[in-house]
Amino acid sequence: MIGKILGTGSYVPGKVLDNNDLAKFIDTNDEWIRERTGIVKRHLIEDDTTVTMAAEAAKRALENAKVSAEEIDLILLSTVSSNVILPSTACEVQKIIGAVNAVCFDLNAACSGFLFALNTAQAYIHAGMINTALIIGAESLSNIMDWQDRGTAILFGDGAGAAVLAAEEGHIFPTVMHSDGAKGDALLCQSRFRREQSTSLELKSGETDIPGTAGFPVDTYVQMNGQEVFKFAVRQVPLAIEELLSACDKTTEDIDLFVLHQANKRIVEGVAKRLHMDMERFPMNLMEYGNTSSASIPILLDELNRQGRLQKGMKLVLAGFGAGLSWGAAYMEW
Ligand code: UT7
């Protein structure tokens, strides 16, 4: 069995921050950001949360797939920036959309997250454990930005994307996934949990509060060695795609579209160049949304789908890369 994408959905918040808006409070400018990244604007949450954006993208994907929430067996949600730690973001989405028969859990593989979720759902389907999966990438990265750091604040945006995957007869395609934790320092976001009170758990007679339990994260923001991540992406993503295509017995010429994680226009161009491919096969929407981490691939996929650019039988390669470090690629026939 193989999982086929029956429908897609996405949601981005309405508030837009363009490069000129950013230049009002960071030492940067529109020309630099456009030239070095391709990004023109990004959408940021106001009243939305990771959960509400994920739920909205999920509803749109279900509608597009013509699948009811009750038919979903698995909700697999990728995020690094949820507003909830417990319960999982996936369970919160389940509650909102009424997917009462689904098992739900989250997955953190940063910007490779949607791709890893897709591959995991495929494995569940292939193993005969489930028939229908809802996979979601959702991020409120604006909550974990240091808005004074021009090396990161200019890059990221908020949003969510989703896809409904259903089992059908067919052979599962090989996938490629890699991690290199030893290089994780290049892109990180550390939660520093603070305890407001003593760590002693001894309660004196008459005390109503439990000392040492009032911890919450402070100073949690993304730190990145941009050049290192850039070089890693341009080097590893073409290798992963070549590894994937060879395993699938395909060549780059067979592929209609390469749907890459939307981090930087120059990374996408660098990957295309190393694969000796024309940029026309590398759609981009990072100009509008910036880097939305695990949401970027499903948002782009949904836009292509709704624009009618994905015809039945088209051959796609999806590729993600980011913190971990982690990276990978998947092949699919639409
Ligand atoms: O999902 C994966 C997550 N991350 C990524 O994909 C990020 C990958 N990396 C990148 O996209 C790029 O490395 C950045 C966009 C972050 C930075 O671009 P860069 O071309 O690597 O710039 P740089 O850090 O080498 O800096 C070049 C110059 C420096 O000035 P000097 O020393 O040459 O005078 C920086 O201080 O540009 C300066 N600079 C800026 N100037 C205006 C760095 N950031 C900015 C800025 N605005 N925002």
Structural domain count, the chain: 1
> CA–CA separation, 248 vs 8, rounded Å?
24
Q: Residues 216-231: what's their mean pLDDT?
A: 85
Report how far ligand 1's centroid is from the alpha carbon of 32 (Å).
Answer: 9
Report how far ligand 1's centroid is from the alpha carbon of 226 (Å).
Answer: 6
CATH of residue 294's domain is 3.40.47.10
Choose which residue among 230, 261, 266 to substitute to test ligand 1 binding: the one with the highest number of ligand atoms within 8 A of its C-beta. 230
278 lies in a domain? yes
What residues have CB less than 8 Å from 118, skipping those under 6 apart? Answer: 135, 163, 165, 318, 330
207 lies in a domain? no
322 lies in a domain? yes
Q: Residues 286-315: what's their mean pLDDT?
A: 97
Residue 212 confidence (pLDDT): 45
Report how far ligand 1's centroid is from the alpha carbon of 155 (Å).
Answer: 10
Q: Give the residue whose CA is nearest to atom 3 of ligand 1.
A: 322
Choose which residue among 22, 31, 36 to substitute to test ligand 1 binding: the one with the highest number of ligand atoms within 8 A of its C-beta. 36
User: Regarding beta strands 315-322 and 257-260, do their DSSP bridges make them parallel or antiparallel, or are they unpaired?
Assistant: parallel
> CA–CA separation, 49 vs 83, rounded Å?
6
For the CA of 229, the closest atom of ligand 1 is 8
CB 316 within 8 A of CB 257: yes
Q: Give the residue whose CA is nearest to atom 37 of ligand 1.
A: 32
194 lies in a domain? no
And the tokens for 148?
Answer: 């004074």
CB 53 within 8 A of CB 93: no
pLDDT at 132 over 70: yes
Q: Give the residue whose CA is nearest to atom 21 of ligand 1.
A: 227
Dihedral angle of Cα 31, 37, 39, 42, to the nearest 10 degrees: -120
Amino acid at site 249: D
Q: In terms of residue numbers, what domain contains 172?
A: 2-181+223-333
Residue 213 confidence (pLDDT): 45
Q: Give the residue whose CA is nearest to atom 8 of ligand 1.
A: 230
What's the mean per-residue pLDDT of the chain? 93
CB 233 within 8 A of CB 320: no
239 lies in a domain? yes
Residue 155 confidence (pLDDT): 97
216 lies in a domain? no
CB 118 within 8 A of CB 165: yes
Q: What is the pLDDT of residues 2-60, one digit of tens each?
A: 999 999 999 999 999 999 999 999 999 999 999 999 999 999 999 999 999 999 999 99
Helix (H, G, I), strand (E, B) or coil at 164: strand
pLDDT at 208 over 60: no
Which protein residues are within 6 Å of ligand 1, measured from CB? 28, 32, 36-37, 111, 150-151, 154, 187, 224, 226-227, 229-230, 233, 263-264, 267, 291, 322
Q: What is the pLDDT of residues 135-161, one digit of tens each?
A: 999 999 999 998 999 999 999 999 999
**Residue in the block written with tokens 């993503």:** 237
User: Regarding beta strands 74-78 and 132-140, do their DSSP bridges make them parallel or antiparallel, or are they unpaired?
Assistant: parallel
Sequence-ordered alpha helix ranges (H) in the chain: 19-23, 30-37, 50-65, 89-97, 113-126, 226-247, 265-274, 286-289, 296-306
Q: Residues 67-92: what's their mean pLDDT?
A: 96
200 lies in a domain? no
Active site members: 111, 261, 291
262: left (phi over 0), alpha (psi -120 to 50) or beta: beta
Q: Residues 217-237: what's their mean pLDDT?
A: 90
And the tokens for 103?
Answer: 């098992």
203 lies in a domain? no
